[in-house]
């Protein structure tokens, strides 16, 4: 099993997710279930997928989760561009 905390990309995504959570605290309360939630979930899913893929048994499965994390990264752009 790989240690996802050793991957720089995971560490950077984790730091960014923490910053996103802090930044979105000041969003309007009516957005808590809308834009705020979408932004937080999309950024958090990057790290989640890297860590989940790290626990997989094969390189092929790991690569699949890295691709999913990349997709999450791309998906994160849309809600950020909305603000």
Q: Which domain holds residue 64?
A: 28-83
Q: Is residue 1 part of a domain?
A: no
Query: pLDDT tens digits, the chain, 83 residues: what are they?
Result: 899 999 999 999 999 999 999 999 999 999 888 889 999 999 999 999 999 999 999 999 999 999 999 999 998 887 777 66
Predicted local distance difference test score (pLDDT) of residue 58 = 96
| Number of domains comprising the chain | 1
| Alpha helix ranges (H) inside the chain | 8-24, 35-54, 59-81
Q: Is residue 20 part of a domain?
A: no
Choose among 65, 19, 17: nearest CA to 42: 17
Q: Is residue 71 part of a domain?
A: yes
Choose among 12, 35, 11: nearest CA to 23: 35
């Amino acid at each position: 099993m790989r240690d996802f905390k050793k991957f720089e990309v995971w560490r950077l995504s984790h730091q960014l997710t923490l910053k996103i959570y802090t930044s979105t605290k000041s969003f309007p309360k009516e957005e808590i279930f809308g834009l705020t939630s979408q932004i937080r979930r999309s950024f958090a899913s990057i790290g989640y997928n890297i860590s989940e893929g790290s626990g997989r048994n094969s390189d092929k499965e790991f690569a699949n989760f890295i691709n999913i994390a990349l997709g999450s990264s791309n998906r994160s752009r849309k809600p950020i561009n909305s603000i």
